[in-house]
Structure 1
Amino acid sequence: MTLDDNQLGAFLRSRREKADAASAGVIDTTRRRVTGLRREELALLAGVSPSYYTRIEQGRDRHPSREILEALARALHLDDTERTYLWSLATPPLTPTGNHPAPTVRPGLLQLLERWTDLPAFVVNPARDVLAATDLASRVNPAWTAGHNLIEFTFLDPRAPQVYPDWNDITQQAVAGLRATAATRGTELAPFIADIRRRSETFRALWDSHDVYDRVSGAKRLRVDNIGILHLNFETLAATGPEGHLLYIYFPHPNSPDDQALRTLRTAISATTT
């Protein structure tokens, strides 16, 4: 089962249609009836023949050379994440990943989570299933609880727009990050992605836009019961190994109202466990 019969062509077409022709250096005195770049215009900018580029976009050549890919990336002004994604689509891994990711977290990671009682932190697999989490993570966001899936919560749980004040941005980031992961773990993720596409029109539209980027750090706003809006920074750490597990750690600015809010939540958790 595959995510798309022609992912490389679909991605190139999406970037071509979203490109700004004027910024790309195309001078056109006629009234354009298409958005973005035409196939022949992109081919000219990349220094390849229009017929050859058409072969790539239509999926008749799925493994163009590195030089061709770099030329297309330059012409489309792709960023580093998009370039990496483009290359991965044309050069799939020699050894396919298994269809069943490891369901358990390494003992060392679990010990770390047990020590981080003062921070929301959790571990996910490539499909964004939460495998383990700190008590504070579960209190801050119900999705950050072992047994939940971040994608399913974001798109299918009616609580998500309430928990995420910036829900529209969160949905875009979630899909773009999942697509980046799927570039190297497509076989593993294909059934899950097909299921979410079927169940969520919003997910389907965002997935079909072919945007790809992965925010490994940044800031997020969350609405927490009895607290209000909480502003937290986050870092994402990859756990080396074939499982593809990721460790998310959220933290406030020191001595900020958000820091004090987390202290209040920790105190409440301690009171219920003693």
Structure 2
Amino acid sequence: MTHDDNQLGSFLRSRRERVDAASAGVVDNTRRRVKGLRREELALLAGLSPSYYTRLEQGRDRRPSREILEALARVLRLDDTERAYLWSLAMPSLAPADSDALAVSTVRPGVLHLLERWTDLPAFVVAPNRDVLAGTALAARVNPAWSPGHNLIEFTFLDPRAQETYPDWNEIALQAVAGLRATVATRRTELDGFVAGMRKRSETFRALWDSHDVYERMTGDKRITVDGLGILRLSFESFALTGPEGHVLYVYFPHPGSTDDEALRGLA
């Protein structure tokens, strides 16, 4: 069975290996040679038989009940995003509705009008697969990836400019993949082909994807290297645009009164 054929088992194994056995209440006086919990330890903590959990992780049983999923999520200490992803793998019919058929690449006129008026901020709209659909003029000047026609994932992993643009490239790459996996939970049909393509085109993407990290950063900070300015330190907020398209608006801004603020104003 290939990795792609058993995504549920691969995800469970990756989370199991990250749980500290001692903090989970496992008493073991022997020298441990495994990362995290053993299969039988996780099974017992979740109230399952070890043989059943083994079948689940190996992909020989793919129909766990609600109660089993909740027990596993509790022991594995999954957060809300990871829990939603687990449900999307095990019980897709009960996960949030997949709106793939309704995916639209056209940004609403009102949103475009707002972007035209925001002359002093880098802001852009992305599709679920991270295609940049529209943005302010300043966004494209700050980061070449933030202009229409680019894809944030492809730029990060396939464009030679990415590691110069992002001084913290390793962290950004990890966050990009984890966020994409969170989106896949609700738009699997739409994104499976894109993920498969990236796995073939980038070994680094494949390795990060196979680590099964899943979380979303809705706000945060990022360092960007801008030609002629050096490194800008910008914060960002993200806003899900209501509708079936799954579009997200990102707005970047500097700390008021900082040297980054002055530099961005000059660039604008």
Q: TM-score if structure 2 supplies the norm length?
A: 0.94
> Residues of 1 paired with 2:101 and 2:164: CA distance?
34
> Residues of 2 paired with 1:93 and 1:213: CA distance?
22
Q: Deviations over 1:205-263 (max 9, x none)?
A: 00000010110101111111111111111111111111111111111111111111111
Counterpart in 2 of 1:270?
A: none
Measured after TM superposition, the shift of residue 109 of structure 1 is 1.2
Which consecutive unaligned segments of at least 5 residues does structure 2 have?
none
Q: Deviations over 1:51-80 (max 9, x none)?
A: 221232222333322222221112112222
Count of residue pairs the alignment pairs up: 265
Q: Deviations over 1:153-186 (max 9, x none)?
A: 0001111011000000000000000011111111
Counterpart in 2 of 1:56?
A: 56
Counterpart in 1 of 2:235?
A: 233
**1:87-126 residue pairs with structure 2 within 5 A?**
87-93=87-93, 96-98=98-100, 101-126=103-128
Give the letter for the 1:181 counterpart: T
Measured after TM superposition, the shift of residue 93 of structure 1 is 4.6
Measured after TM superposition, the shift of residue 4 of structure 1 is 2.6
**1:159-198 residue pairs with structure 2 within 5 A?**
159-198=161-200
Q: Say if 2:225 and 2:231, in contact at 8 Å, map to a contact too.
A: yes
Give the share of equivalent positions with the same residue, in percent.
75
Give the letter for the 2:171 counterpart: D
Q: Say if 1:155 and 1:200, in contact at 8 Å, map to a contact too.
A: yes
Which consecutive unaligned segments of at least 5 residues does structure 1 have?
267-274
Q: TM-score if structure 1 supplies the norm length?
A: 0.92
Q: Alpha carbon RMSD of aligned pairs, Å?
A: 1.8
Measured after TM superposition, the shift of residue 125 of structure 1 is 0.4
Counterpart in 2 of 1:41?
A: 41
Counterpart in 2 of 1:272?
A: none
Give the letter for the 2:257 counterpart: N
Counterpart in 2 of 1:84?
A: 84
Q: Say if 1:24 and 1:75, in contact at 8 Å, map to a contact too.
A: yes
Q: Say if 2:102 and 2:244, in contact at 8 Å, map to a contact too.
A: no
> Residues of 1 paired with 2:67 and 2:110: CA distance?
42
> Residues of 2 paired with 1:4 and 1:150: CA distance?
23
